[in-house]
Amino acid sequence: MIRKTILLAAGLLAGALGFSQTPHTLLWRISGKNIKPSYLFGTMHVLCPQDAVLGDSLKKAIAAVDEIYFEIDLSDMMGMLTAMKYMRMNGDKKLSDLLKPDEYTRVKNYFSRHASALPFSMLERFKPMLVSGLIEEQALDCETADGMELSIMQESKSHEKKINGLETVAFQAGLFDSIPYTEQAKELVNGVDSAEENKKATRMLVNAYKAQDLDKIDELSQKYDGGMNGYMDLLLYGRNRKWAKKLDSLLPQKSLLIAVGAAHLPGKQGVIELLRKEGYTVEPVKNEVQMGQVAERETADDRKNNQQGL
């Protein structure tokens, strides 16, 4: 999901010289303003287990901090269980109310061929953008796609770290009520009709993530924005601003690891720059891990797709 932020001159120079403006790392150290050092880490919510690898630097950060903040409190199992009610469209709407009969049939047939954990009879009452997320998950070449958050959670257990969230599930799900369901449903149909292209795009995004290339993640997120470019302030920038203000009140109290989606980090409206504007020093931390090595082992198809700009 995301940002147009690099200065034109710097962007042209970086492109001409073949390197990225932002250092290749997902881990950043926060200091200054007389706080204990804290850390910011970019996650990917949908990722195959073999790619969700923690580097030594991240493990040390987990061990060192007082508390871990995700976008939502992933340790709140009761909250996770009750989240289902927030996923449903208001007014008892369902997909068949929003789509033409042939469009509805295409979506239904897609999920008949690509089974998910939930039956389509439940999914068709969900906010369409949430259903679209399942298409991205199914684009990965693995049976389960748990994401980096699960790996961080597992590592934090051995250190008995408290888990918290910057937002609530209800707030996140409520964001999608501000985007017309008809527009969401239209993008869901586009996602179904372009499933193969989306699969290539997801592979490219995963490769950029494994290479820890925030600029590439930013570029790909803008290119494949799911038609939601007009809602980026709602879905991304506005949330970044709220997080920066909230973190400014939390960071003086305790040392934190803040683990949020990597697309929230780069750019003028990204969390890195917003924390700097709050007066903090935010510096890249070398984070060599296996996923950086895996990025070099792209398949021949992935290389071809990258060359073609897919």
Task: Transcribe the chain into DSSP letters.
Answer: -----S-HHHHHHHHHHT--SS-S-SEEEEE-TTPPPEEEEEE-SS--GGG-PPPHHHHHHHHH-SEEEEEE-TT-HHHHHHTHHHHBPGGG--HHHHS-HHHHHHHHHHHHHS--SS-HHHHTTB-HHHHHHHHHHHTSSSS----HHHHHHHHHHTTT-EEEEEE-HHHHHHHGGGS-HHHHHHHHHHHHHTHHHHHHHHHHHHHHHHTT-HHHHHHHHHHT-TT-GGGHIIIIIHHHHHHHHHHHHHTTTS-EEEEEEGGGSSSTTSHHHHHHHTT-EEEE-----HHHHHGGG--HHHHHHHHHT-
Structure tokens at 225: 């924005």
d(CA 184, CA 226): 9
Res 42 pLDDT > 80: yes
pLDDT in tens, 237-261: 999 999 999 999 999 999 999 999 9
pLDDT in tens, 14-29: 333 334 468 999 999 9
By percentage, how much of the chain surpasses pLDDT 90? 59
Structure tokens at 199: 């699969």
The side-by-side arrangement of strands in the sheet containing 256-261 is 162-167, 67-72, 256-261, 38-43, 27-31, 281-284
Question: Where exactly are the structural domains of the chain?
Answer: 8-308
User: Which residues pair with residue 67 across a beta bridge?
Assistant: 162, 256
* Beta carbons of 287 and 212 less than 8 angstroms apart: yes
Instruction: Count CA atoms within 13 Å of residue 132 on its CB side.
Output: 24
Mean pLDDT, the chain, rounded, equals 84
Rounded to 5 degrees, what are φ and ψ at 71? Answer: -60, -40
Res 277 pLDDT > 60: yes
Res 41 pLDDT > 80: yes
The pTM of this model reads 0.83
